[in-house]
Amino acid sequence: MKDHNLKSGAYYMKNLLENLEKKSYKIIKEEFDNLNLTSKEDKEYLMEELLKDKRKNVIALGNKIKKELDALEKEKIRVKGMYDFDRGFAKGNLLAGVDEVGRGPLAGPIVSACVVLDLDVLDEDMIYYLNDSKKLNKKKREELAEIIKEKAISYAIAEKSNTEIDSLGISYCNNKVFLEGLEGLNVKPSIVLSDGYLIKDVQIENKSVIKGDTKSATIAAASIIAKVYRDNLMEKYGEQYPEYGFESNVGYGAQKHIDALKEFGPTKIHRMSFLKNIL
C-alpha cells in the first residue's frame, strides 16, 4: 500500500488494503462493512484502490463508495442552495428561521423553534441533510437536532400547553410560540423567515415562505429542532398513558388514539376543544 495521509478512523482501511489481492472477498466485505470513514479524502482513496481490483464483487464495493460520494455532492449543492436562499433575505444581517409542530394533534402542546445560523460558513461547515423534518427519519432528525444546536449562533424553543390552546385558541397560540421563540434568542436578528404565513405583531421584518422548510436552511433547522423536542415529549406521555399510543402517533388522531379516547376518555394533556366531534 502506498503512503497515504491516514486520518482518524482510517486505521481499519489500512488493514483492509494491505495485501488486498490475496484476501478473499468474504474477508474484504467483512472489513469493508466495519469501516466508519468520515473523511472524503479517505473515501476517495479507498474507492480508487478497490476499483483497481480485477474481481467484479470488489469493484462493486468501490462503485458503492462512488455512488455515496456522488450523492453527497448532490446534497452539498442542495443545501448550499438553502443557505443561498437565506442569504438573499439576510443581506449580511442576522436572520432567524421559525417553524412550529403540533398545530393539528388532539393532545399535547404546540411547539415552535427559532434558529439563527451562520450563513457565511464555508461549504464544508454547512449542515447537510437539512429538510422538512417530516421527510427525515427519527434517527436522522435526532442527529441533526444535536448538530444544529451545536452550530447555531442561537436557538430557542417555545410551547403552549393543551389548556392554553383550549382557552386562547390554536391560532393565537401558534402565533404566540413564534413570538416567544424569537424573544428567547440571545441575539437580535434583523429579519425572520416563517413557514407559510406571516407572524402577527412581530417587531422585526418578517417574510413568509411557502414550503419554507424545504427552501430555507434556518426554517428547516427550526422544523427539526421543534419536532424532535415535541416527539420526545410525547414519547414520555406515551409511558404515562400507554393506552393512547402517543409514542407513535404523537397526539394525532390515529385509530388507536381514537379508540382509547372512546374507551377511557380524555387525559389531562388532551385538547378538549379538538374533541367535540369525537366524544
Does 123 carry a binding-site annotation?
no
Which H or E run includes 174? helix 170-183
pLDDT band at 2 (very low <50, low <70, confident <90, very high): very low
44 a known binding residue?
A: no
pLDDT, one tens digit per residue, over 76-108 is 999 999 999 999 999 999 999 999 999 999 999
Whether this model's pTM surpasses 0.75: yes
Mean pLDDT calculated for residue range 148-171: 98
Q: Residues with Cβ < 8 Å from 254, sequence gap 6 or more?
A: 245, 248
Q: Spell out the residues 6+ positions from residue 72 whose beta carbon is closer than 8 angstroms to its own.
A: 40, 128
| Domain extent listing, the chain | 11-84, 93-228
* DSSP string for 43-58: HHHHHHHHHTSS-HHH
Query: Is residue 100 part of an annotated ligand binding site?
Result: yes
Share of the chain above pLDDT 90, in %: 75
Quick one: pLDDT at residue 9?
53
Report the pLDDT value the prediction gives residue 217, as an integer from 0 to 100: 98
Q: Which residues of 255-273 are buried (b: 16+ CB within 10 A; e: fewer)?
A: eebbebbeeeebbebbbee
Q: What is the pLDDT of residue 10?
A: 65
Q: What pLDDT is stored for residue 148 in this prediction?
A: 98
The three grid cell numbers given for residue 160, joined into one nine-digit string: 403552549
DSSP tag of 107: B
- CA–centroid distance for 184 within its chain: 21
Q: Give 93-228's CATH code, choosing from 3.30.420.10, 2.40.100.20, 2.60.120.10, 3.40.50.300.
A: 3.30.420.10
Q: How confident is the model at residue 248 (pLDDT cuts 50, 70, 90)?
A: very high
